[in-house]
Amino acid sequence: MTDAALSELTVPGTLRVGINLANILLVTGMSPDGTPEGVAPDMAAVVAQRLGTAVSYVSYATPGDVADAVGRDEWDIGLIAQDPERAGTIAFCGAYVEIAATYLVPDGSPLQSIADVDRPGVRIAVSGRSAYDLFLDRTLKQATLHRADGLAGAFELFKTGKLDALAGLVPALKDNAENLPGSKILDGHYTTVRQAIGTKPRNKALGAIVEQVVADAIASGVVADLVQRHGVDGKLQVASDT
């Protein structure tokens, strides 16, 4: 199967990896030569090691950019969150980590629970084309989404636009809350974002290898070790089977 997977690579002997720089939990730094560092790049390196290839990182500013690039054949594997909309063009393997998503509300907000947020007139700031933006776009019935570029952009829109809620991942919202006195993170979560590795749907052999690599990395403790090594323990959870 490895030979079949290698034959599916566009550049012989090199695994091209699409990396989303916007997720600061998965990409926690850059090396002096500009190589991304963190749990996501290291997971890609594990796949390359299994294949016996070199690895070449192709970085993108947003997860939406990573998803778009599959149609331009810019990467062999892309590390972004699973989502039904993205699954139309990307074949996702099993998730390796997951992150809960909820809302941050300002001081004095009448919104006290996640269920309170989906009401007429409620305005929600969100990082455009993030996995939780796509989820909320499908599921919200009455509240409206106001999109910005990236996590920082969404937080700025939330503050300056005096919006009613900020949608985001719990660890990032905790950081935001520290910079907004009196704000509150609503208990629970409206979704759990599952970070995964995707391939082109036609690359069946490569997808099978990646699926096995992810399963082995979870079972052997490699994913847990990466989470701890990069200082994001307590923020990222090793993905469950459900």
My answer on whether 30 and 70 are in the same domain is yes
My answer on whether 59 and 114 are in the same domain is no
Total structural domains in the chain?
2
Residue 7, both tokens: 């034959």
My answer on whether 6 and 93 are in the same domain is yes
Between CA 159 and CA 162 the distance in angstroms is 5
My answer on whether 84 and 20 are in the same domain is yes
Contact 154, 126 (CB under 8 A): yes
pLDDT, tens only, 62-107 = 999 999 999 999 999 999 999 999 999 999 998 999 999 999 999 9
My answer on whether 104 and 89 are in the same domain is no
CATH code of the domain containing 52: 3.40.190.10
Average pLDDT, integer, range 167-174: 96
The pLDDT of residue 185 is above 60: yes
My answer on whether 9 and 84 are in the same domain is yes
pLDDT, tens only, 1-55 = 799 999 999 999 999 999 999 999 999 999 999 999 999 999 999 999 999 999 9
My answer on whether 81 and 200 are in the same domain is yes
My answer on whether 182 and 219 are in the same domain is no
Q: How far apart are the first and last CA of the chain?
A: 27
The pLDDT of residue 217 is above 90: yes
Range of the domain at 165: 100-191
What's the pLDDT score for residue 154? Answer: 96
Mean pLDDT of the chain: 96
Contact 189, 114 (CB under 8 A): yes
List CB contacts of 121: < 8 A, sequence separation 6 or more.
143, 164
